[in-house]
Amino acid sequence: MIAVRAGFIPLVDSAGLVLAAELGFAEAEGLDLSLTREASWAALADKLAVGAIDAAHLLAPMAVASKLGIGNAKPAISALMSMSTNGNAISLSHSLYEEMLAVSPLAPGAGVADKARALGATIRAREAAGGPRLTFAVVHPFSPHNYELRYILATGGVDPDLDVDLVVVPPPYIVEHLEKGLIDGFCVGAPWTLVGLREGVSRVLMTKSQIWRFGPEKVLGMRESDVEAGHETAVRLVRAVKQALEFADEPANRAKVASILAAEDYLDLDPGVIGRALEGGVPVDEASDRPVEDFIVFDRFGSSFPWRSHALWFYSQMVRWRQIEHSPAAARLAADAYRPDIYRKAFENSGVTLPSANSKLEGALGAAAPAGSTTGRLTLAGDGFFDGRVFDPNDVPGYLAGFSRSV
């Protein structure tokens, strides 16, 4: 048995690690997997950096940033696989939501762009009336949440750095902050969106799956130096976690997954809230209480594959929001943070379908479509952005030039 210590943040998408340990998938791979819950992404990254843990559930852009040496610089962390897709949502306080409807009524079935423009109009109306600036919270500067919220604000004609205050609030405090009026809205992951709804303090404006139909979220990270020193642990961990992710995707397993995650050592929350997150029971449209399709996805459509184009999309957002300056060398580094080579090695000759390429156009599929693969049986999920844009990972400047305020 190889001993592996892994850290996680109490979120629904820690399921890949939690279930790998709880349901014996890690043991079957010869791993003695022990888990530690961490209070912040920063603490998780610190512990990974100094070797207090060997692997971690991480915000995907954190791995990219570590490879680029930006932010709170640490040794490079490799993203071995994706642990989740979607799962986030943008919520507003009731008073801001009402204010928005008063400024700009939303027609039934209004889309993401309509809502973004309505929010933008509200922010401008406030400014014109001399009202206080709005404050929005995200969970980390290198988080998909940050880029999603900025994308939406910018679509509404709002400069996220000048027209509003963007702050970081840890997810367990975010609902309380809204309740106290310290923030007016937030973009947070599952299950915290549902906690805000349960407490009756927030309303969902839109989900991540509506912004980017199949948007990458968390990754499984290991120190790059450890991965380089020997692939065995990484490969076994990837296999164990993939089985856990497949288990978590299965609708018939939802109650079991929710009850495991709800335990005191993991999320320490009501299993009902976690179950609703797994089902996509997030009301975004008054007219319909249908669950949000693909609200959170673990491995469906082979989505645990670490696409280098995902690393590059996050990189494009770092450039867009001036966290780094673009250069071809930096783009290459960013792509290298993702390790499809390890994922391929984990499943070579295993019958698991692997894509033929390591990178793809993002946002090009309006609906699920077949793609080149090792078995000829790969179907990729529809992955469109709400605004119909397509991200070509080989042309970051070209992609950014299409946005009104970019490089």
Partner 1 sequence: MIDQSAARASVIEEGLRESGLTDVVILLDTELLMRRIVEIDPDVILIDLENPSRDVLDAMFQVSRTVERPIGMFVDRSEAGMIEQAVEAGVSTYVVDGLRKERVSAIVETTVSRFNAFDRLKRELADTKKALEDRTSVDKAKLFLMKRHEVDEPTAYGMLRRAAMDQNRTVAEVARALVSAAALLDKKP
Nearer to partner 1, 7 or 275 (CB): 7
Q: Stretches 46-54, 209-217, 351-359, 381-389: which one binds partner 1 (CB under 8 A)?
A: 46-54
Query: For residue 24, what are its two tokens?
Result: 């014996």
CB 117 within 8 A of CB 155: yes
Closest CA to 394 of 318, 334, 305, 337: 334
**Which run of H or E residues covers position 126?**
helix 112-128
Give the distance from CA 189 to its chain's centroid.
Answer: 8
Nearer to partner 1, 172 or 291 (CB): 172
Nearer to partner 1, 52 or 368 (CB): 52
Q: Stretches 135-143, 213-221, 251-259, 344-352: which one binds partner 1 (CB under 8 A)?
A: 135-143
| Cis ω before 191 (30° cut-off from 0) | yes
Nearer to partner 1, 72 or 373 (CB): 72
Nearer to partner 1, 160 or 306 (CB): 160
275 belongs to the binding site for partner 1 (CB under 8 A): no
Kindly state the smallest distance separating residue 173's Cβ from partner 1, in Å.
Answer: 7
Q: Stretches 20-28, 38-46, 186-194, 372-380: which one binds partner 1 (CB under 8 A)?
A: 38-46
Kindly state the smallest distance separating residue 172's Cβ from partner 1, in Å.
Answer: 6
Pick one of 27, 40, 300, 403: the residue that binds partner 1 (CB under 8 A). 40
39 belongs to the binding site for partner 1 (CB under 8 A): yes
DSSP 8-state code for residue 23? S
Closest CA to 298 of 2, 18, 1: 18
52 belongs to the binding site for partner 1 (CB under 8 A): yes
Q: Find where tokens 């009026």 sit.
A: 181
| Helices and strands in the chain, H and E counts | 18, 14
Sheet containing strand 31-37, strands side by side: 31-37, 2-8, 55-59, 218-223, 77-82
179 belongs to the binding site for partner 1 (CB under 8 A): no
Closest CA to 209 of 292, 288, 126, 131: 292
**Count of residues touching partner 1 (by CB under 8 A):** 28
CA 56, CA 380: separation in Å to the nearest integer?
A: 26
141 belongs to the binding site for partner 1 (CB under 8 A): yes
Pick one of 50, 255, 369, 401: the residue that binds partner 1 (CB under 8 A). 50
Query: For residue 165, what are its two tokens?
Result: 């205050």
51 belongs to the binding site for partner 1 (CB under 8 A): yes
Pick one of 139, 237, 244, 342: the residue that binds partner 1 (CB under 8 A). 139
CA 163, CA 160: separation in Å to the nearest integer?
A: 6
DSSP 8-state code for residue 253? G
SS3 (DSSP) at 324:
coil
Q: Stretches 48-56, 296-304, 333-341, 374-382: which one binds partner 1 (CB under 8 A)?
A: 48-56
Residues in contact with partner 1, shown as a per-residue x/- string from 147 to 176 under the rule CB under 8 A:
--------------------xxxx-xx---
Nearer to partner 1, 12 or 59 (CB): 59
30: left (phi over 0), alpha (psi -120 to 50) or beta: left
71 belongs to the binding site for partner 1 (CB under 8 A): yes
DSSP 8-state code for residue 302? G
Between residue 339 and residue 368, which ones bind partner 1 under the rule CB under 8 A?
A: none
Kindly state the smallest distance separating residue 62's Cβ from partner 1, in Å.
Answer: 10
Kindly state the smallest distance separating residue 233's Cβ from partner 1, in Å.
Answer: 21
CB 309 within 8 A of CB 391: yes
Kindly state the smallest distance separating residue 347's Cβ from partner 1, in Å.
Answer: 34
Contacts to partner 1 by CB under 8 A:
39-43, 46-47, 49-52, 71-74, 139-141, 167-170, 172-173, 177, 180, 182, 323
